[in-house]
Amino acid sequence: MKKLTLVIALMFVAVIGLAATPNLNVTPDQPKSLNFSIETYEQETAIRLFDEQGNLIFSEYVTDQKSYSKRFDLSKLEKGFFLLKVENSLKEIIYTIEMNKLEVSIKDMNEILKPTIITEDNKVKINFLNLAQENVVIKILDSNDRTVFEEVIEKTMVIEKAFNFEKAYKNNYMVMVKVNANSYYQPITVK
């Protein structure tokens, strides 16, 4: 019953996170402007715009707001490709934007779900809704970068792991969850 409750809770959190997909579209009367809006549900959300060389053009962190909207005027920028990244604790969404002499267009959107790693009272809980069923590597490293635990979870949609550090040696540990080229980290100190 406890496992079923955890799975339901994970699915609920994932659905809330998925519901926060931003709305990005070209402003009809201004072809070099974009309208952006998102329901943030008061989650800390980072909104960043980069040029094709990776230079940061715009950055804003939204906290304590249920929703956010902004109009991006790109008319003074050189033609080329840009990335708009929207990130919270559950996912990152990356829009590829192209601007030519006359207009701006949205070429692609990529959504990356993140695992949740929670530490509480010398315990670590990992939950991940792995919709693509990609291989996931979970590793725990000590302060000398020695691997004290490693597991590869293959083709599993719902990943749940719990670690109890109550009887572990006093040390600073790093919990790592790797999905494709993306790695997520959570430190834990055992005193």
Residues 57-116: tens digit of each pLDDT:
999 999 888 889 999 999 888 899 999 999 988 889 999 999 988 889 999 999 888 999
Domain with CATH 2.60.40.3080 in the chain: 116-190
Q: What is the pLDDT of residue 125?
A: 95
The CATH classification number of 116-190 equals 2.60.40.3080
In sequence order, what are the residues at sequence separation of 6 or more whose Cβ sits closer than 8 angstroms to the Cβ of residue 128? 113, 114, 115, 116, 136, 158, 159, 177, 179
Q: What are the tokens at 146? A: 């020695």
Q: What is the pLDDT of residue 11?
A: 47
The answer regarding whether domain 2-113 maps to CATH 3.40.50.261 reads no
Q: What is the pLDDT of residue 181?
A: 87
For residues 16 and 90, what is the distance between their CA atoms, to the nearest angstrom? 9
- pTM, 2 dp: 0.75
